Structure 1
Amino acid sequence: MTAPTDRLFLPDAYLSTVEGKVVGIDGEGGILLDRTNFYATSGGQPGDTGFLERADGSQISITGTVYGDAAKTIVRHLPDEDAPVPVIGETLVLHIDWDRRYRLMRMHTACHLLSVVCPYPITGAAVGENESRVDLDMSEVPDKKSVTLELMQLVEGNHPIFTRTITEDELAANPGLVKSKNVRPPAGAGTIRLVCIGDEASVDSQPCGGTHVSETAEVGAIHIGKIEKKGRENRRFRIRFGALDRG
């Protein structure tokens, strides 16, 4: 049985390069490493792309990263179909596509901020490099300019962002921490990772396994590009980079 992957992106989302050892190649060609800085697709955030550098300087292009088990403990690195196959025990240097990852970190953080400005149950979400969507269980249609203004106030407040761990029992005693209406944090590990915003989590605190920036100012200029009606009580917010066009 393959040992769990040491997921270095959880304690340090800024780790763009690291060494890892090949511990297996699965039946579909996925590369398994003892540790990785490559984020695996989860929670609406797409997995990392990049390349694995061999000792001779050649590269193994990675087109995606996913989990290989239901418990989300084993990370599979998906190579380009023409990429060479490493050998078990080989040490590689892992390079994520940092520009892409950083945009996703900023966007994922923006999604958290939207859940603060519009505190309604989340029914779906997808983090993108240039646009993200968050579906909220709400009946009214807010003004996108007003929501944008409140978002930018949080961004410009430059609140710190950090993680902490609580027990599953603590989460059960504080069900309001879970903002998703349909998805619960994975159980069984005994602990839950919280992403917190603001001093002493004064702005927000919610379970999340994604990657985020360390201060809200890093998000940069964002705006609500569109709010769509997706049912009587479901609204889809589209978050985009850049300032809102006030024309």
Structure 2
Amino acid sequence: MTDLLFRTDAYLREAAATVVAADEAGIVLDRTPFYPRAGGQPGDTGRIRWDGGEVVITDTIKDPERGAIHVVAAGAHLPPPGTGIVSILDWERRLRHMRMHTTLHLLCSAMPGIYATGNQIGAEKSRLDFDLPEPPAKEWFTERLNELIAGDHEVGERWITEAELDANPGLVRTLSVQPPRGTGRVRLVRIGPEEAPVDLQPCGGTHVRRTSEIGRVEVTKMESKGRQNRRIHIVLAGDTP
């Protein structure tokens, strides 16, 4: 299985690796900083470069047996197995995903006791759906989110066993995306101090180190998607810090 380097360093922009397989599905490496599409977060894009060649990566997806597959355009020249390469992220796109993803966690914290029913992270805009019959105005969400961002809260993580998660089901804040399982342990992403977190929930995605890195955000629209389901749209309103 591919060693997913972003799990220990989400700020790693490139890494040396060896090609394990290369076929019409894409390129499999022994290690990668690329995030494979999951949990509403898009797969990373970028480039893979080797001595005498380079290929553009248009997406990264999961494979249950091989790990991360780096998708290339049809007909692209592929490096053969055993080739030493350097994988290079489209860093600006990834960073925007990280800022957006952390923002969605903050949005969850602004609605304690309310479950998310769907989400989609994007570089330009993102959305989060809530089981919420009468939500506050979008201006309230914008103000609350920017207060939390300005608090410059540290973003950290810790791991618990799957049994510990089963014993604390309230940690799961979404009805649509369940935490990654199968390894015996689950990663918790924490915003704020351990003793009094702003938000704490299972998550396999990538995040910024501090909320101040997000910059200003704005809730641009709220939609009704059913009797109680409300969709909240968010954009990054400020320049990258």
TM over 0.5: yes
Query: Is residue 28 of structure 2 the alignment partner of residue 35 of structure 1?
Result: no
1:150-194 deviations in Å (ceiling 9; x for gaps):
101110000000111000111111111001114322332100011
Amino acid at match of 1:238: H
1:52 counterpart letter in structure 2: I
Alignment counterpart, residue 173 of structure 1, candidates 157, 160, 167: 167
Deviation at 1:25, TM superposition (A): 2.1
Which consecutive segments of 4 or more residues in structure 1 shift more than 6 A? Answer: none
Q: What code does the residue aligned with 1:213 have?
A: V
Alpha-carbon distance between aligned partners in 1 of 2:36 and 2:73, rounded to the nearest angstrom = 16
Counterpart mapping for 1:92-241 below 5 A: 92-119=85-112, 120-200=114-194, 202-241=197-236
Q: Pick from 61, 66, 88: which aligns with 2:56?
A: 61
Q: CA deviation at 1:202?
A: 1.4
Instruction: After TM superposition, give the deviation of residue 78 of structure 1 in Å.
Output: 0.4
| Alpha-carbon distance in 2 for matches of 1:44, 1:182 | 10
Query: Aligned match of 1:22 in 19, 39, 48?
Result: 19
SS at match of 2:6: coil
Q: Percent identity?
A: 47
CA–CA distance in structure 2, aligned partners of residues 182 and 20 of structure 1: 34
- The residue aligned with 1:46 is 42
Structure 1 contact 123–135 (Cα < 8 Å) conserved: yes
Q: Secondary structure at the match of 1:44?
A: coil
Structure 1 position 106, deviation (Å): 0.4
Q: Are positions 1:86 and 2:79 aligned together?
A: yes
CA distance in 2, matches of 1:83, 1:115: 41
Secondary structure of the structure 2 residue equivalent to 1:147: helix
Q: CA deviation at 1:138?
A: 0.7
Q: Tell me the TM-score normalized by structure 2.
A: 0.94
When the two structures are aligned, how many residues end up with a matched partner? 236
**Conserved 8 A contact 1:141-1:227:** no
CA RMSD of aligned residues (A): 1.3
Following TM superposition, by how much is the alpha carbon of 1:140 offset from its aligned partner in structure 2, in angstroms? 0.4
Q: Secondary structure at the match of 2:7?
A: coil
Equivalent-residue separation in structure 1 for 2:216 and 2:177 (angstroms): 29
Q: Which runs of 5+ in 2 are unaligned?
A: none
